[in-house]
Amino acid sequence: MPSPEGAAAQILDDRPMLGVATLVAALAILPGMDAIAKLLAGHLPILEIVWARYLVYALFLLPLALSRHGLALFRPARPLLQLLRGGLMAFSALMFFSAVARTPLADAMAVFFVYPLLILLASSVILGETIGGLRWAMVILGFIGAALVTHPGMEGMSWGVIFALASGTSYAAAMMVTRELAAHDAPLVTAAISALLGAAVFSFLLPFVWSMPASSDWPLMALMGAIAAVGHFLIIRAHRMATASQLAPYGYTEIVAAILFGFLVFADMPARVVWLGIAMIMASGVAASWSNGRLDGEGG
């Protein structure tokens, strides 16, 4: 585990507001990938969908990574951590696509959003970052909003909920590893290694579940991988400009994007209580933005 001293040195480009904007941009497009996965899950195996996502993701990133870093791409400074991050991200993707196949997109996303609270807890306990009381309150407010979003469509602990919870937990761990890697390897290196690892693992498993996609499925698979490539590269960039605790409150904006995609693609109209949850999520992000500078200076 990284030490508090190491965590403090990981911000290589200390521009927290730009980091927040970069993260929000990534989270605005990533639910589009999830919506495509939900469409494909109606007639294709989940593992095959995740394989397509990772294959296109790798093909998208590898030429760019090689042109910028050459063969040094395959000699990362922290290879074991790179493998750990790649494995965590691959497992998170598999679990989340399994979740959206069984539950509405917004419900799965809301359960997935256990991860910002886990990141904040790990940032404080493991990395030794100072977490202001108001920032904690804003994240909790966002969590309550997420609960309001997911409540209307959830009755009991379904497999979809369990898969989404597993995905969020794995993703939180991956983000903490990403923070450690940010001080050692370029974001493009980290993104490309994770993409290659996921593509290799799922390609090995693919023959056991293969089902021939329809001709109309291939463009959707390609778009899914392209969204993954752009979105996760932006996430890595964001973690080079802001601390995990600064970024955590803004992760809830992905739920808003998920609801929008759910409405546009699946005609899911949120109930009134869902809109209340959206308002609380947005309020948590705005208040955290206003308080970031004060909390950093006051230490709590």
Residue pLDDT, tens place only, 240-278 = 888 766 777 777 778 888 888 988 888 877 778 777 877
**For 114, which DSSP code?**
T
How many residues comprise the chain? 300
Mean pLDDT of 77-105: 93
Among 22-26, 71-75, 126-130, 209-213, which is the least confidently predicted range? 126-130
Mean pLDDT of 2-16: 48
Residue ranges per structural domain of the chain? 15-298
Q: How high does pLDDT run on average in the chain?
A: 81
pLDDT computed for residue 8 by the predictor: 34
Q: 171-212, pLDDT tens digit by residue?
A: 989 988 988 887 888 888 888 899 999 999 999 999 999 999
Q: By CB neighbour count within 10 A (0-12 exposed, 13-18 middle, 19+ buried), where does 1 fall?
A: exposed
CB atoms < 10 A from the CB of 154, how many? 18
How far, CA to CA in Å, does 289 sit from each of 53, 117, 156, 229? 33, 17, 35, 27
State the Cα angle at 22 between 136 and 74, rounded to 5°.
Answer: 110
Check: CB of residue 50 under 8 Å from CB of residue 279: no
Helix (H, G, I), strand (E, B) or coil at 47: helix
Task: Kindly report the pTM of this predicted structure.
Answer: 0.79
